[in-house]
Every structure is written in structure tokens, then in C-alpha cells.
Structure 1
Amino acid sequence: MIDPKMLDDMAKKLANSVPAGVRELQQDLEKNFHATLQSTFNKLDLVTREEFEVQSALLARTRAKLDALQNQVEHLEQQLKEDQSNSL
């Protein structure tokens, strides 16, 4: 979920960027911008930074385990080849 404070800040920045004559409508614009941004971000199916970091750490651990297993398989294959060569 997107941080509501971040949405408020973005909505304020957008409202402040309109010409001075329109600023009388600033509160209404902020509310509309906030609702529009919230709706848009909800449609994007975003993940939080924390969720991303958790998945990145999980992927790194999985990659390390995969590399270790690959090395182990290569070592065992080499041993098997050496054993087969010695028995001939």
C-alpha cells in the first residue's frame, strides 16, 4: 500500500503548480488529486519497499543455496568420473 503522507505531498505539489487564480480551489484540487492518485496506484498492484526487500533477501538466499548445490553436483560428478576411470 502507498504511504498516505506521500500521496498528500504529491497532491499538494500538483495543486500548488496550478495558476494563482485557480488556487482558491486548492483544497478541492488536493482532494481530487489525492483520490485520483490513490485510484491509479491501487490499479498498479504495487508492493511496499519492505515486501520487496523481503523477497530480494529470499531470492538471494535461494540463489546461494542453488549455487552451493550446483557445486556439490559438479564435485560428485567429477568423483564419479574419477572412480569410473580408476575401475577400468
Structure 2
Amino acid sequence: MALDEHSGTRPNPGALESARRHTEAWRPVVDLDAVPYIDRIRAALGPSHEAGVEAFLINGRVGSDERLSVLEWLVAGRDLAPVLRLADESRHGWE
């Protein structure tokens, strides 16, 4: 096997696949239909961003300290208004 011209190492064809499997094993899975107010969140994000709803719930941060994910915020029974504002801002950022 030839050396990689940039790194000077031999490529490892299984490394990428191994990393992908490891990442998927630790990826949280969200039952979107069980999320409080999911219909309103989907509407705020817009229909063209359905694939990004789960990422928004897990990675989006809400609140003044932004320590809580959107999902944690909703599960804790917090106010929906900041989530809808964040979703609307996210949608406009994607457009």
C-alpha cells in the first residue's frame, strides 16, 4: 500500500468505517413523535428542514445560560416560546 503524500502514512481503509460505527453507536436517538409540542416545532422550522429536527432538538440551546438542549428544556416543562423563537431564527439562518 502506498504512502499518503500529505501525511506520510499508509491509509487505513477500515478506519473511516470504524469511526462511523462508533459515532452512530453513541448518537442519541429521539422519538420525535414523543417530543412535547413537536408539531409546533416542526412548523417553526419549516417543512424543508424535517431532516434537521432531531439535530435541532439535541444541539439547539435554549435559555440565557444556554446550558440546556431544546429537548431538555421541553422535557423539564419549560416555556415553549423561546424554543419557537430559536426554531424560527434557525430556519431563517438556513434559508
TM-score of Structure 1 vs Structure 2, range by shorter chain? under 0.3
Question: Which structure has the highest strand share of the two?
Answer: 2
Higher alpha-carbon Rg: 1
Structure ranking higher on relative contact order (CA contacts 8 Å, 6+ apart): 1
Greater helix proportion: 1
What is the TM-score normalised by the length of structure 1?
A: 0.28
If the length of structure 2 is used for normalisation, what is the TM-score?
Answer: 0.26
